[in-house]
Amino acid sequence: MTTLSLKKITSAWIITILALFVLAIAFGITMRFNQGANINLDPAKFYSLLTTHGVTMIGIWAVAGMVAVNYLLARYVPVSTSLNVFAFILTVVGVVMLWVTTFIGHFHAAWTFLYPLPFYVAWEKWATPVFLLGLGVLGIGWFVWAVGMMLQILKKYSLRHTFAWQHLTTKHDVAVETPPFILITTVSLIGIIVCLLAAVVLLVLFFAEYFSSGSFVNDPLLMKNLTYFFGHTLANESLYLGLATLYELMPEVSGRPKFKTTWYVALGWNCTMVFVLTAFFHHLYMDFVQPVGFQMIGQLASYFASLPAAAVTAFSVMVLVFKNPIKWSLTNILFFLGVVGWLIGGVGALIDSTVSNNIFLHNTLWVPAHFHTYNAMGNVLFSLAFFNWAANEFVGNQNETKSYSLKIVLLLIGGFGFVLMFYFAGAYSVPRRYSVYPQEFTSAALLASAGAWFACIYLVVILWMFFDIVKKCFKVFSPSY
Ligand code: HEM
């Protein structure tokens, strides 16, 4: 059941996430203008911005997915508001710690904090442990919250039912139906719990070396595997939480019957759960000491992880909208465009994860190109759709009368224009994570400037949505509500 306290904490999350998003976009635009030689940042400042931007974006969109599924989960099982508030407080504390290390402590080892970079202190000495601790605080909050949600699900559905195994048959009469929302939420939460556990191991190993005064040294290959297992999995599971929200809300706001769990939906998501946990190996193709078997698993799992979820979702969404009377609104347009962005970014990712292409594309701007596509034009749109729907829910009116066409046009021009400049640069082998491009890359600065201007258009739309959504969210805090 949706209580007032659940509405209040969800509103607090939405306002905080959107405010952090606006700031993180501004950091991104600043970096892109610097790469375009329109402004001239000190390199250490550029890398502090890169670190803050990356860690903030990954964090807020992972947690946005959890906020959405937590709210919608209340339709099926009781959810704990205290755990939600606990995660919120730890998130705020964690973000403050991280931002203090980057803006005051000048920590700039990028959001992946790849071992042993954080130990090569080129910033305040305290910033390394505080950055790692900040990550730990975020991780604890989200881990406890995710476990809490899983336990609530398991109180109502058996393990077999949460994975929808009873649907893996062509028979139509299953005794207990698993809603797609429960299946996808389970798959995603399990992935999140496992990757946060890996993060705990990683942080413990970092601290063990930090406090050992040189008597304990980590294995860099193990550390890199753990880092990417954590980072890649978290980024992917965030997307899947967005898809859980889509499965629950898109038919409802479109005035269509709810999605059902069929055998192919059950099979697709079960496969995704297994393969997504091993796809991260594609980040280590250039680490020649990595056993060859893992490299093969990396390539195969990259294909197998994305295809079932993508194919099943694309099919389900096409069936929903094709030749059916749809009640279009900003919410379902955002869901629809999010699927398009996710699929385009997914194809970009598959091209890069193919070993023969990766030789050329590895660590070029092709990498930010594909992950910005399925984030800025995919996962972010899923969460914005939820935020817009929730804000309307808070004021009790899903029938928006305002036209949203201009918002959508600007979003498409700004968002796809911004990522297209990354793709062009990647195709020209421009390296990623450069503050200023070497002169040999003749078109890199021009593409960066163009990307920055497109991103400004994207920012305008986000600010526009921010004001519309936040105004409604504040209503739940009014004493007369
Ligand atoms: C229009 C909005 C955005 C702008 C202008 C922007 C800009 C940038 C730029 C310029 C970079 C550095 C690229 C490089 O040279 O390697 C970057 C990296 C990154 N961005 Fe964004 N970005 C935006 C949205 C997002 C979103 C929505 C996410 C969500 C996850 C995101 C996550 C990241 C991450 C993880 C990195 C890598 C950081 C690192 O290498 O440590 N960005 N972004």
pLDDT of 400 > 90? The answer is no
Which structure tokens are listed for 137?
């605080």
Q: What residues does ligand 1 touch, defined as CB less than 6 Å away? A: 25, 28-29, 31-32, 50, 53-54, 57-58, 61, 110-112, 368, 372, 375-376, 380, 418, 432-433, 455, 458
Q: Which of 6, 10, 7, 11 is nearest to 470 (CA)?
A: 11
Amino acid identity at 223 = M
Query: How does residue 219 score in pLDDT terms, banded at 50, 70 and 90?
Result: very high
> What is the pLDDT averaged over residues 448-459?
98
CA distances in angstroms from 443 to 35, 363, 425, 448, listed in the order given: 11, 18, 8, 9
pLDDT of 385 > 90? The answer is yes
Q: Name the DSSP class of 463.
A: H
What pLDDT does 389 receive? 97
In the chain, the largest separation of any two C-alpha atoms, in whole Å, equals: 68
Least confident range of 87-91, 101-105, 279-283, 404-408: 279-283
What pLDDT does 403 receive? 83
Q: pLDDT digit string (tens) for 111-160?
A: 999 999 999 999 999 999 999 999 999 999 999 999 999 999 999 999 99
pLDDT of 172 > 70? The answer is no
> What is the pLDDT averaged over residues 316-335?
90
Q: pLDDT digit string (tens) for 338-359?
A: 999 999 999 998 898 888 898 9
Task: Give 431's strand partners.
Answer: 364
pLDDT of 420 > 80? The answer is yes
Alpha carbon of 379 to ligand 1 centroid (Å)? 14
Instruction: Work out the mean pLDDT of the chain and round it to a whole number.
Output: 94
Give the residue, out of 20, 38, 57, with the most ligand 1 atoms within 8 A of its beta carbon, to mutate for a pocket test: 57
CA distances in angstroms from 144 to 2, 81, 91, 213, listed in the order given: 21, 13, 12, 32
CA distance 337 to 331: 10
Residue whose structure tokens are 């903030």? 56
405 burial level (CB within 10 Å; 0-12, 13-18, 19+): exposed
CA distance 379 to 376: 7
CA distance 450 to 325: 39
pTM: 0.95
CA distance 84 to 146: 10
Q: What residue's CA is closest to ligand 1, atom 31? A: 57
What pLDDT does 83 receive? 97
> What is the pLDDT averaged over residues 378-397?
96
The percent of residues above 70 in pLDDT, for the chain, comes to 99
pLDDT of 174 > 90? The answer is no
Q: Could you give all domains of the chain from N- to C-terminal order, each with its CATH number?
A: 4-477 (1.20.210.10)
What pLDDT does 354 receive? 86
What lies within 8 Å, CB to CB, of 352 at 6+ separation is 282, 358, 361, 362, 366, 367, 370
> What is the pLDDT averaged over residues 2-12?
96
Residue whose structure tokens are 């939820």? 386
